[in-house]
Amino acid sequence: MKTCYEPLSPLEQSVREILLQVIDPEVGENIVDLGLVYGIKVEGNVAKVNLTLTSQACPMGEMLLDDIHANLTRLLQNEMEFDINLVWEPPWNPDMMSAEAKQRLGWN
């Protein structure tokens, strides 16, 4: 599985671009720049995404997963299936955010 910052195939890049549009409702930042997306891999017509939440107790987790699936389905339509895996290892921490997200959130 490739991280969001490794070279991605064109279809994997499309998945990444869609995930950039998914905003964490509590933080107001996209899930890719927050470092919540751990990997993207497209095999055949299945897009696999490993991701995490800022905490296991995240009250918006189900809503976020629904948003991810809705965006992927709407933008890639029926040509793809999605395997979205919620993982907890490694645990998320603020160091996983992109430099841009840290700057936008004032974490410099």
Q: What is the distance of C-alpha 61 from the center of its chain? A: 12
Confidence (pLDDT) at 4: 63
Of 6-10, 41-45, 49-53, the range with the highest mean pLDDT is: 49-53
How far apart CA 106 and CA 49 sit, in angstroms, is 28
The full set of domain ranges for the chain reads 10-97
Mean pLDDT of the region 12-20: 93
How far apart CA 108 and CA 102 sit, in angstroms, is 6
Given a cut of 70, whether residue 1 has pLDDT beyond it is no
Percent of the chain topping pLDDT 90: 54
Q: Considering the entire predicted model, what is its pTM? A: 0.88
Given a cut of 80, whether residue 56 has pLDDT beyond it is yes
Q: Which CATH superfamily, name and number, covers 10-97?
A: Fe-S cluster assembly (FSCA) (3.30.300.130)
Q: What is the sign of the dihedral through the CA atoms of 68, 30, 42 and 91?
A: negative
Give pLDDT tens digits for 81-96.
889 999 999 999 999 9
Burial class (CB in 10 A: 0-12, 13-18, 19+), 104: middle
Given a cut of 70, whether residue 103 has pLDDT beyond it is yes
